[in-house]
């Protein structure tokens, strides 16, 4: 018996932009015999730091582990509170929980899904140690406004730029001006290494500590010890660290992907602009650039208009028409680990998470496919 097969070919939500060059780079790393963290990770870190124009970049295994290290680096621990948007992938809140602190959910701007100084202010207490702002869907958050609120109170602002490689904030790459920022290279983002992440920061001592923490707290990295000739250098372990390392195979892929990042952003922005034209009045609900920057359209999300059918129904109708859209950004305070923990009302969060959907957007999306998506959406909304 066959399982159910869609009547029409499905248009996926996302396809990573990978090719022969990435395959060759990965193969070369394998053939070199150096597959764990080594020279390619170091080269990828330098290239990523240069791309952003930041002094330090520390490669790690994911953005989740990047956030984990960032929060330790910011001095967050048990008894502390960290203000985060509920409207984010759950890893943002989980990283706070990993360090024994309490995530305190703040609401977002209904226009772009990001924290604002006002929504953060409503969630501050005398226990607040840090704020994690998110560039949701690649839309740059107004970092300066949140810093102006937080820093005079001794509160560190960490930027979760998981989605935002290639986005621009006040003329600089998103995350570049943050004290600490974390990036993801998961295939659902633009630049991918399979799994992978990066922490960037301005401070050299902090970067050195993050390098130790990602590698079991070792005072000398395994790669440096190897380069120095095995037993010549004896490392010490001065605090408890983790294994949050990236592999050289991943970094080899990342180096190729970084070179393609401008083309990825250009292509996604052009496709998003075409959606905007095609959608007509529905485009009112389409995520747009904020006044302070430009996004990479990592997620091209659309808020359904008032009077539209239920989102689940819209998604089902799209799927039947061969269009694989997704529910919009999740809200952590509605999931089991954080249910009932919201202290302030989160109306914009609940509106966006309940009424938005993510449209297919990938580099090989054709005009004909885009036309099909928009026609199916019109039909589904009625």
Ligand X SMILES: *Cc1c(COP(=O)(O)O)cnc(C)c1O
Enzyme catalytic residues: 189
Question: Using the rule CB under 6 A, is 48 a contact of ligand X?
Answer: no
**Site size toward ligand X, by CB under 6 A:** 14
Question: Using the rule CB under 6 A, is 369 a contact of ligand X?
Answer: no
Is 202:332 a contact under the CB 8 Å cutoff?
no
Determine the Cα–Cα distance for residues 99 and 94; give it in Å rounded to an integer: 9
Among 16, 113, 197, 328, binds ligand X (CB under 6 A): 197
Q: Which is nearer to ligand X, 91 or 321 (CB)?
A: 91
What is the three-class DSSP state of 222?
helix
Maximum alpha-carbon separation in the chain? 72
Name the DSSP letter for residue 219: S
Tell the smallest beta-carbon distance from residue 91 to ligand X (Å): 4
Q: Which is nearer to ligand X, 92 or 294 (CB)?
A: 92
Tell the smallest beta-carbon distance from residue 163 to ligand X (Å): 5
Is 217:239 a contact under the CB 8 Å cutoff?
yes
Given the rule CB under 6 A, which of 9-17, 58-66, 110-118, 364-372 is the region that contacts ligand X? 58-66
Among 16, 38, 45, 64, binds ligand X (CB under 6 A): 64
Among 62, 86, 167, 356, binds ligand X (CB under 6 A): 62
Footprint (CB under 6 A) of ligand X, residues 221-260: none
DSSP E strands, the chain: 56-60, 81-85, 102-106, 128-134, 156-160, 168-169, 172-173, 180-184, 197-201, 293-294, 301-303, 326-327, 356-358
Q: Which is nearer to ligand X, 63 or 300 (CB)?
A: 63
Determine the Cα–Cα distance for residues 17 and 261; give it in Å rounded to an integer: 10
Tell the smallest beta-carbon distance from residue 29 to ligand X (Å): 20
Our measurement of the distance from residue 234's CA atom to the centroid of its chain's CA atoms, rounded to an integer in Å, reads: 37
Footprint (CB under 6 A) of ligand X, residues 110-169: 134, 160, 162-163
Q: Which is nearer to ligand X, 195 or 372 (CB)?
A: 195
Burial degree of 234 (CB within 10 A; 0-12, 13-18, 19+): exposed
Residues at the site binding ligand X, with contacts judged by CB under 6 A: 62-64, 88-89, 91-92, 134, 160, 162-163, 184, 186, 197
């Amino acid at each position: 018996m066959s399982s159910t097969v869609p009547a029409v070919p499905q248009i996926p939500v996302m396809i990573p932009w990978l090719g022969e060059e990435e395959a060759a780079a990965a193969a070369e790393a394998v053939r070199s015999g150096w597959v764990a963290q080594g020279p390619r990770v170091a080269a990828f870190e330098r290239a990523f730091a240069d791309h952003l124009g930041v002094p330090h970049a520390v490669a790690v295994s994911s953005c989740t582990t990047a956030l984990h290290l960032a929060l330790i680096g910011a001095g967050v621990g048990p008894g502390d509170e960290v203000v985060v948007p509920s409207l984010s992938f759950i890893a943002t809140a989980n990283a706070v929980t990993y360090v024994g602190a309490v995530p305190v959910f703040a609401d977002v701007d209904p226009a772009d899904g990001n924290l604002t100084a006002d929504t953060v202010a409503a969630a501050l207490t005398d226990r607040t140690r840090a704020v994690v702002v998110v560039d949701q869907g690649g839309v740059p958050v107004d970092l300066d406004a949140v810093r102006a609120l937080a820093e005079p109170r001794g509160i560190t602002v960490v930027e979760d730029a998981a989605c935002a490689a290639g986005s621009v904030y006040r003329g600089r790459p998103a995350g570049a001006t943050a004290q600490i920022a974390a990036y993801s290279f998961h295939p659902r983002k633009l630049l991918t290494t399979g799994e992978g992440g990066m922490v960037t920061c301005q401070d050299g001592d902090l970067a050195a500590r993050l390098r130790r923490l990602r590698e079991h707290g070792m005072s000398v990295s395994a790669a440096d010890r190897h380069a120095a000739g095995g037993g010549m250098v004896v490392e010490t372990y001065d605090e408890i660290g983790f294994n949050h390392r990236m592999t050289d195979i991943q970094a080899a892929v990342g180096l190729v992907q970084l070179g393609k990042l401008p083309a990825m952003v250009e292509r996604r922005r052009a496709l998003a602009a075409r959606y905007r034209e095609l959608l007509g009045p529905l485009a009112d609900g389409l995520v747009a650039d904020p006044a302070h920057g430009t996004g990479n359209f990592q997620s091209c999300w659309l808020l359904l208009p008032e009077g539209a059918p239920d989102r689940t129904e819209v998604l089902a109708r799209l799927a039947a028409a061969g269009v694989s859209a997704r529910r919009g950004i999740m809200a952590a305070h509605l999931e089991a680990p954080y249910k009932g923990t919201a202290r302030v009302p989160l109306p914009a969060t609940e509106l966006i998470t309940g009424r938005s959907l993510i449209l297919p957007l990938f580099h090989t999306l054709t005009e004909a496919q885009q036309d099909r998506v928009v026609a199916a959406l019109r039909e589904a909304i009625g």
